[in-house]
Amino acid sequence: MLEIYKSQESGHLESLTLKTLEKGAWINIVDPTPYELKEVSAVTHVEPDFLRSALDDEERSHIDVEDDSIMILTNVPVVYDEESYDTLPLSVILTKNYIITVCLEETPVIASFNERTARLFHTYKKTQFLFEILYRSATFYLRYLRQINKLSEEIEDQLRLSMRNSDILRLMELRKGLTYFSAALRSNDAVFEKIMRLRTNRTLAGVLDIYEEDEELLEDVIIENKQAREMVEMYSQILSQMADIFSSIISNNQNMVMKFLAAVTIIIAVPTVIASFFGMNVPMPLGENSYGFIIVICIAVIAASFAAFIFYKKRMF
């Protein structure tokens, strides 16, 4: 999918095409075809490798600089099936005339820049728009982390009532999402720090022009990213401790069940042994007694009751 927009002074987004492309336009590429990449590369004179970098879902955050363009690749958060959290590479390419975003899928970060929010950003202010994208990504990390925390509390409440495999698997899925977030936020942080160092790079004049207001926005991005990292670490520890605690509870419950079954087995074995003795095909006491069967049953019941009493005193069940 290929979409091209340009902010207007009236505050709305004008839709363009590659044939009507204007300076200051935003080219948004989502899951492109080879033909679309070739066309964009030919029109914007951007290296094809820049455009293809974000199409590898395992690509880590980094910055590449060419003569007249710079590519900032970061990982943005996405959510699947309500409880499955992951990250996707998103590359933002700045040239002297355009800003280009490339991603494998349509993400909430890019989708939040639309006609309804057009007054809040300007595509022709390329550096500022870049930092707004990075800031929006950091805010989505924080939003999803709060959702993860809420979900973990719900799972904890359910696990307190009953240990179900489905709840344990949900907990594992959340931990996996936090692992992805942690790795992405660490690599994103390195990218932001490098952008700070590139402020004084004169060779990028006209491509990455950072003004005072842009520096403040970049500082906000770094602060939000740092807060997201701290939240990931905290929630990861909480989920890890929760998983360890419930694993211990499950193991303890299993031990209690095994102990109870062992006690019941021994109690049942007592009358079985007594009955086996008196069931031998040899002369036995009470063999001629008309009440012998009842007496044997009473002996077995008394012996089993005595064994049960002993186990009860020892808290075997």
Alpha carbon distance 293, 280 (integer Å) = 13
pLDDT at 201 over 70: no
| Sequence-ordered list of residues with C-beta below 8 angstroms from that of 210, at least 6 positions apart, any chain | 127, 199, 218
| Sequence-ordered list of residues with C-beta below 8 angstroms from that of 235, at least 6 positions apart, any chain | 145, 148, 149, 152, 178
Q: What angle do CA 91, 97, 98 make, to 5 degrees?
A: 30
Note whether 121 and 132 are within 8 A (CB): yes
Note whether 63 and 72 are within 8 A (CB): yes
Average pLDDT over residues 252-279: 80
Helical H runs in the chain? 34-44, 48-52, 108-111, 126-161, 165-197, 212-278, 292-313
The answer to which of 100-114, 151-165, 182-196 has the lowest mean pLDDT is 151-165
Note whether 39 and 95 are within 8 A (CB): no
| Sequence-ordered list of residues with C-beta below 8 angstroms from that of 203, at least 6 positions apart, any chain | none
* pLDDT at residue 143 in the model: 92
Alpha carbon distance 311, 142 (integer Å) = 54
Average pLDDT over residues 272-281: 74
- How high does pLDDT run on average in the chain? 82
Q: Could you tell me what percent of the chain has a pLDDT over 90? A: 9
Render pLDDT for 118-156 as a digit per residue (tens, 0 to 9). Answer: 788 888 888 888 889 999 999 999 999 998 888 888 877
Alpha carbon distance 221, 51 (integer Å) = 24
Note whether 279 and 223 are within 8 A (CB): no
Chain centroid, CA 213 distance in Å? 33
